[in-house]
A and B are shown apart, each in its own frame.
Chain A
């Protein structure tokens, strides 16, 4: 079955440590996204990538980094510079069609990774 796999599901980190969250998709989607969700809040966009070797900052990119070396993979690193990293992190992907019709592209989300800083 095609889908998005996020790992690990739960992660604990000590302050000052960098951690990397994995996101892999086998949907052949060009675009991939990372969102952060805090308790009782909506989703906020961290980074997105429309194509391999290219990515753009979202609304809350400070303290995070990403790479897109392969179409299938879009890992997110939470660095020690992120002041409040405890959150639920969601990865998503979508097809990338013609630009004017891109609004019709549906997002597929992974199950999420919950990061807790001790």
Chain B
């Protein structure tokens, strides 16, 4: 499986932008880059995903390096509600007989937001 590497933790001041990095040097051409976040004792929620081009939605922006070996999740103005564990995962198609999806979640980055 293609793996991702993220810092264990990061801090941000409230109302300031946050850049969460993710390295994925073994990414394949069909792998999409997904970001999810998880609040304590809750299920993860989808944040954003992309393949090659930078992406924006109401929650965040995703900046993808030209060689696709790294990406950055950008929260434009951190709020206390953004304090969570952020997971960067690669989601692609891996053929295995009947066809299968490879989904690997690492430990993610724990984001703390300081009031």
Binding site for B on A (CB under 8 A): 4, 31, 33, 35, 40-45, 48, 50, 54, 56, 88, 90, 92, 99-100, 102-112, 114
By the criterion CB–CB under 8 Å, are A111 and B99 in contact? no
Interface residues on B, range: 20 to 34
The answer for the CA separation of A1 and B31 in the assembled complex, in Å, is 30
Binding site for A on B (CB under 8 A): 30-32, 34, 36, 41-46, 49, 51, 87, 90-93, 95, 98-101, 103-108
**Known interface pairs A56-B98, A107-B36; 16 further A-B residue pairs with C-beta atoms within 8 A, sorted by A's residue number:** A31-B101, A33-B103, A35-B105, A40-B107, A43-B105, A50-B98, A54-B98, A56-B100, A88-B41, A99-B93, A103-B31, A103-B51, A104-B32, A106-B34, A107-B44, A109-B44
The answer for the CA separation of A102 and B100 in the assembled complex, in Å, is 10
Main secondary structure of the interface of A (DSSP, over half): strand
By the criterion CB–CB under 8 Å, are A106 and B49 in contact? yes
With a CB–CB cut-off of 8 A, which chain B residues contact A45?
A: 103-104
With a CB–CB cut-off of 8 A, which chain B residues contact A40?
A: 107
Of the candidates B41, B42, B99, which one forms a contact with A99 in the assembled complex, judged by CB atoms under 8 Å apart? B99
By the criterion CB–CB under 8 Å, are B42 and A105 in contact? no
Query: Which residue of chain B lies nearest to A45 when distances are taken between CB atoms in the complex?
Result: B103
- Most interface-central of B32, B34, B103, B107 (chain A CB within 10 A): B103
